[in-house]
Structure 1
Amino acid sequence: MIESISRSISRKIKQSDPEGNVSVEVMEYAIGVKLNLFLTILLTSLLGLMTNELYNSLLALTSFAILRRFSGGLHMKSLTMCAVASSLLFIMIAHIHINNMAIIILTAINTVIFLLFSPNTIEEVNPSKLDPYLKLISTLIVLSSLILMSSTVTLAFVAQGILILPFHKGGEH
């Protein structure tokens, strides 16, 4: 769904400006990423409202997204499936409550995962001045769970930790 919408929009943009220097493929990708983010936020918000967990649902989404920005991780092949699966994940996380000892144990395990495997860049991206510090940044973000002591934040970080594990083809660490 997202792919076909972004393809249609990018083709219409190219038709209106055929001399433009951006290819249809590049526009399609950029539009798809934006639509994916919009759909993920929309679905998470709607499901969060329906289940009376809007705050924790959006907290899970935000925590996951911030950590993912610095740690990389596995991607789904379909942007639409990514939005749906991510939204369902954030809703589930919002409804799970763990005690402080579980937060400490999960954070310790997750810290080791991030020290070993972060960043896990699945795709080639533009190099950044932050690249040498991504492991440190993502590990410090994970350790912030010990200050926040939030089930939602900790579980969102654990979910992201699973996605940086090298269980898939093409990943590197």
Structure 2
Amino acid sequence: MIEPLALRMAQHIKRVVPDHPSSVPVLKHALSAILNLVFITGLTIAISVFIGRTREVVTIMVAFAFLRQMTGGIHLKSGMWCVAVSTLLFTGLSFIELDYNWTTGATLVSMLLILIFAPAGIEKQTRIPPRYFPLLRSGAFIAVSLNLWIADPFIAISFFAQSLSLINIRRWKTS
């Protein structure tokens, strides 16, 4: 649904503005990313308002997106799968209640996973040269370690879920 909608929008832009410097495929790719974000955010917030967990869900989404920008992670094959899985993940995580010890443990495991696996799968997703990837890892490690001081259970569970997405079984099998 996202890709066909993005394609129709890109074709419309090219019809209305034929001199636009971007090609239809480039516009489609950009619009797919925007629509993906809009659908995930809109659907997740709508559900969170309905179930009364908006603060938790927003905290989880912001923490997840922040860490994902520095660490990368797995990507699903289609935009609709991404919307469905992300919405279910963010909503589901908002129901997990961690005490201080579990919050600390989840944060420490996330830090370890970041040291081992980050950044993962961003080579074709970013303009950042690979020589700066260690800085991304360090920044992500520092950002996650701050939750040892903040001790927010929803940030911890969000960071933990994002850190798990760094693990690529296929990469380990070929090593």
Normalized against structure 2, the TM-score is what?
A: 0.91
Structure 1 range deviating more: 114-123 or 148-157: 114-123
| 1:1-173 map, 5 Å | 1-124=1-124, 125-127=126-128, 131-168=133-170
Shift of 1:122: 4.4
* Farther-moved stretch of structure 1 (15-24 vs 31-40): 15-24
Report the alpha carbon displacement of residue 71 of structure 1 after superposing the two structures with TM: 0.4
Measure the CA separation in 1 of the matches of 2:23 and 2:98: 48
Amino acid at match of 2:128: P
Structure 2 portions without partners, runs of 5+ = none
Displacement of 1:131 in angstroms is 3.8
Instruction: Give the root-mean-square deviation of aligned CA atoms.
Output: 1.9
- Total equivalences in the alignment: 171
Which one-letter code corresponds to 1:43 in the other structure?
Answer: L
In the TM superposition, residue 127 of structure 1 has moved relative to its aligned partner by 2.2
Q: Which consecutive residues of structure 1, in runs of 5 or more, have no partner in the other structure?
A: none
> Do 1:119 and 1:135's aligned partners in 2 also have CA atoms closer than 8 Å?
yes
123 and 76 in structure 1: CA distance in 2 versus 1, 3 angstrom threshold: farther
Structure 1 Cα separation of the partners of residues 144 and 170 of structure 2: 22
1:31-57 residue CA offsets vs partner (Å, 9 max, x unmatched): 110111111110111110111001101
Identity level (%): 25
Amino acid in the other structure paired with 1:73 = G
Shift of 1:85: 1.1
Instruction: Assess if the C-alpha contact under 8 Å between 1:74 and 1:122 holds in 2.
Output: no
Structure 1 CA distance for aligned equivalents of residues 91 and 153 of structure 2: 13
Amino acid of the residue matched to residue 152 of structure 2? S
User: In 2, Cα distance between the equivalents of 1:116 and 1:14?
Assistant: 44
What amino acid is the match of 1:70? M
Name the CA distance, whole Å, in 2 between partners of 1:26 and 1:113.
34
TM-score, structure 1 as length reference: 0.92
